[in-house]
Amino acid sequence: MDHLTGGLNGVKVLRRLNRLNRLERLDRLQSLKGLLLGALLLLFALLLSGCWDVEELNVRELCTAIAIDGIPDDAEDAGDNRIRVTLQFPLPQHILPPTAGVATSHRTTFYTVSVNAKSVGEAINRINDQITGVLDTSHVKLILLQEDYARGGILQELDFVTRVPKLPRQASIIVTRQSGEFILSQTSPKDLLPSLDIFQQLQLKSSGGSLDVPLWKFVKILDEPGQDPFLPVMEYNEGNKTFALNGIAVFQHDRLVGLLDTNQTRIISMLDHGRNDSGFEIPLPGNKRATFRRFRCSKRIIPQNPQGSKFLIKVKVHCVLSELDFSQPNMTKAEMEQLHKQAARFIKEECQRTLRRIQKMEADILMFGLSCYAKYGKDFSFGDWPKRFSQADIAVEVDLQIDRSGTYF
């Protein structure tokens, strides 16, 4: 009996020991979970802080514009250098609004640094060595190409676009009549950075007398056969102290071959962008004029043969009659029909004039070649296309719809 009692007591002791071991393991597991949870929370705090892989703002030099100018071969300091590169940097401490009650004085809000180099990449490295902080190109708004330099071809210099870290692909690229170094050194009448002033104008006037072209789109077109790019043109008006956008620069591949005036640019805006917000003034008999605005347009290019020697372009235009420069309370139906014919004829003639202009440049900026390839496939060849495009017969048909307003119903 004593033997059985001792055996039962031993079993109870073993059960108690097992229970204690389980409780001890649970306590250790809970402690381990607490440590893991604390480590995860610490890791999240480090990641969400955003400061573990970012340079402080006060050590960065923010670049807002890059200008590329050519160097004449006979220049004294040319040497082996091919281009002159200028970068514009804002001065945040001069841009921020002053503290209340503190007197202000006119101070420059930016500075520029220019160097001569063999390439843009080399120039950026040199400028990075000259400035106080670390060069930051993630805020670049503008790439400026000087006109004379662009006529020699720009493909080699634009190689930096895909190689400079964090360079915004949405930055605007433009052609300048004066040197980019000169333009970036001018002050804005709006007390803005010159680069931001120009960038805002491009966004607001992206359909009309000038057309905004983002950097990614220009580079993409350079890699595609059967299409040539164009860029907006800008110059600094020294009389008015303003940055003036005026027309577009037409390229044959990467080489600038000519400029279009503002009326021709409005036609390209209609045919390429499908709109023209700046409108037209259309001449009428008897030295009278009518103003039309808010143009909406659609086009259809119809190749007539696989050789690409003949095209028909059908253009549908919807616009608003904005103003007549003569006093007339009402217009008869016959007078309105006459006005309609004259406006349609004017738009057709402007389309034909613009098309002849780009044909003379041998620059297919409206994708006639791609339209022919889409219709005829392998029967169409891009070989010697610029020359063949310049000789193509292009017929234009215009279907015009006018909305009347005011007293001219």
Q: What is the pLDDT of residues 189-231, one digit of tens each?
A: 777 788 888 998 888 876 677 888 999 999 889 888 778 999 9
The Cα–Cα gap between 68 and 143 comes to: 8
Per-residue pLDDT band for 89 (boundaries 50, 70, 90) equals: very high
Which pLDDT score, from 0 to 100, does residue 16 have?
Answer: 60
Higher-confidence residue: 54 or 153? 153
Asked if residue 274 and residue 182 are part of one domain, the reply reads no
Q: Which two tokens stand for residue 22?
A: 């389980």
Q: Is the pTM of this model over 0.85?
A: no
Which of 57-61, 302-306, 329-333 has maximum average pLDDT? 302-306
Asked if residue 272 and residue 181 are part of one domain, the reply reads no
Average pLDDT, stretch 158-171?
Answer: 82
Query: pLDDT digits over 31-47, tens only?
Result: 666 666 666 666 655 55
Which of these ranges, 54-63, 131-140, 179-188, 337-346, has the smallest mean pLDDT? 54-63
Asked if residue 292 and residue 161 are part of one domain, the reply reads no
Q: Is the pLDDT of residue 294 over 60?
A: yes
Asked if residue 232 and residue 158 are part of one domain, the reply reads yes
374: nearest Cα among 300, 269, 271:
300
At 132, the amino acid letter reads: T
Q: Where are the beta strands (DSSP E) in 203-349?
A: 230-237, 242-252, 255-260, 275-276, 280-284, 288-303, 310-324
Asked if residue 266 and residue 256 are part of one domain, the reply reads no
Which pLDDT score, from 0 to 100, does residue 190 have?
Answer: 76
Asked if residue 223 and residue 330 are part of one domain, the reply reads no
Asked if residue 356 and residue 245 are part of one domain, the reply reads no
Query: pLDDT digits over 353-382, tens only?
Result: 999 999 999 999 999 999 999 999 989 998
Question: Last residue of a domain, which of 260, 291, 307?
Answer: 260
Which pLDDT score, from 0 to 100, does residue 312 have?
Answer: 96
Position 8 in a domain? no
Question: Last residue of a domain, which of 208, 227, 260?
Answer: 260
Which pLDDT score, from 0 to 100, does residue 23 have?
Answer: 59
Position 18 in a domain? no
Average pLDDT, the chain: 82
Which pLDDT score, from 0 to 100, does residue 409 have?
Answer: 42
Domain of residue 404, residue span = 261-409
CATH number at residue 406: 3.30.300.210
Q: Which helix (H) or strand (E) holds 398?
A: strand 393-403
Q: Which two tokens stand for residue 338?
A: 């006459």
Characterize 118-144 residue by residue with b for buried, 16 or more Cβ atoms within 10 angstroms of its Cβ, and e for exposed: ebbebbbeebbeeeeeebbbebbbbbb
Check: CB of residue 314 under 8 Å from CB of residue 395: no
Which pLDDT score, from 0 to 100, does residue 102 have?
Answer: 45
Q: Which two tokens stand for residue 83?
A: 């281009």
Query: pLDDT digits over 308-336, tens only?
Result: 999 999 999 998 888 877 655 566 778 78
Q: Which helix (H) or strand (E) holds 24?
A: helix 2-49
Q: Which two tokens stand for residue 204?
A: 């607001």
Asked if residue 293 and residue 252 are part of one domain, the reply reads no
Higher-confidence residue: 259 or 92? 259
Which pLDDT score, from 0 to 100, does residue 38 have?
Answer: 66
The Cα–Cα gap between 68 and 147 comes to: 10
Average pLDDT, stretch 16-26?
Answer: 61
Q: Is the pLDDT of residue 12 over 70?
A: no
The Cα–Cα gap between 125 and 122 comes to: 5
Asked if residue 229 and residue 107 are part of one domain, the reply reads yes
154: nearest Cα among 267, 28, 292, 255:
255
Which pLDDT score, from 0 to 100, does residue 46 have?
Answer: 57
Q: What are phi and psi of 339, to 5 degrees?
A: -60, -40
- 288-303 and 255-260 as β-strands: parallel, antiparallel, unpaired? unpaired
Q: How many CB atoms lie within 10 A of CB 49?
A: 9
In percent, the amount of the chain with pLDDT more than 90 equals 40
Which pLDDT score, from 0 to 100, does residue 192 have?
Answer: 79
Question: Last residue of a domain, which of 260, 281, 309?
Answer: 260
Which of these ranges, 100-104, 115-119, 212-216, 254-258, has the smallest mean pLDDT? 100-104
The Cα–Cα gap between 184 and 172 comes to: 15
Per-residue pLDDT band for 26 (boundaries 50, 70, 90) equals: low
Which of these ranges, 148-152, 249-253, 286-290, has the smallest mean pLDDT? 286-290
CA distance readout (Å), 144 to 110, 183, 251: 17, 9, 15
- 172-176 and 142-146 as β-strands: parallel, antiparallel, unpaired? parallel
Asked if residue 308 and residue 207 are part of one domain, the reply reads no
Q: How many domains does the chain have?
A: 2
Q: Is the pLDDT of residue 110 over 50?
A: yes
Which pLDDT score, from 0 to 100, does residue 315 have?
Answer: 94
